[in-house]
């Protein structure tokens, strides 16, 4: 990822969640590491269109309810099992300066830790609403990852 001065300014919303999964890191990464994978967002995304490949690829998320937003892949590492992306067009959603990361870390031979971090700045004072939305999105993604990997849902 090419870091700019713009990226060094703080964002008021930071949502950070991590879960332990009883599957090896490579298996989890095969699902999570696919930038165009729609299954893990199926609860709130109708489809994903991807233009290009690798760093610089842009995915258009067609969210249920008719909202469309665009995200660009900024950094990707199969070896380290992480990627960073930014929203380049949030559509009608009230956030800006959005940057996020997904990573899968080995945690022994048959487990891994999935972490997702989302950062953004709310528009027009909509901090609470946008923080709840972004938090809920991560939790829905985690639920979908568990479902797709055949792992029991958290209590």
pLDDT digit string, tens, across residues 47-70: 999 999 999 999 999 998 899 999
Query: What pLDDT shows up at residue 109?
Result: 87
Q: With respect to residue 141, please indicate whether it lies within any of the assigned structural domains.
A: yes
Give me the number of domains the chain comprises: 1
User: pLDDT tens digit string along 70-115?
Assistant: 999 999 999 999 999 999 999 999 999 999 999 999 999 899 999 9
The span from the CA of 1 to the CA of 146, in Å, is 29
Instruction: Tell me the residue range of the domain where 22 lies.
Output: 10-149
Q: With respect to residue 3, please indicate whether it lies within any of the assigned structural domains.
A: no
Q: With respect to residue 77, please indicate whether it lies within any of the assigned structural domains.
A: yes
- CATH no. for residue 25? 3.30.530.20
Nearest to 126 by CA among 15, 13, 10: 13
Q: With respect to residue 4, please indicate whether it lies within any of the assigned structural domains.
A: no
User: pLDDT tens digit string along 114-136?
Assistant: 999 999 999 999 999 999 999 99
On the CB side of 87, CA atoms within 13 Å amount to 19
Q: Which residue is it, tokens 């890191």?
A: 25
pTM for the complete prediction? 0.90
Structure tokens, 43 = 């609860």
């Amino acid at each position: 990822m090419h870091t700019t001065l713009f990226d060094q300014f703080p964002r008021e919303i930071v949502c950070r969640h991590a879960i332990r999964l009883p599957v090896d890191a490579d298996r989890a990464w095969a699902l999570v590491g696919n930038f165009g994978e729609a299954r893990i967002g199926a609860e709130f995304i109708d489809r994903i269109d991807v233009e290009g490949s690798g760093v610089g690829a842009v995915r258009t998320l067609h969210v249920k309810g008719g909202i469309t937003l665009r995200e660009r892949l900024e950094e990707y590492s199969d070896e380290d099992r992480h990627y960073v992306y930014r929203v380049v067009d949030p559509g009608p959603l009230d956030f800006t300066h959005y940057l996020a990361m997904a990573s899968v870390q080995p945690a022994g031979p048959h487990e891994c830790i999935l972490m997702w971090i989302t950062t953004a700045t709310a528009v027009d004072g909509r901090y609470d609403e946008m923080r709840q939305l972004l938090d809920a999105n991560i939790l829905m993604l985690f639920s979908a990852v568990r479902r797709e990997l055949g792992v029991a849902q958290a209590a």
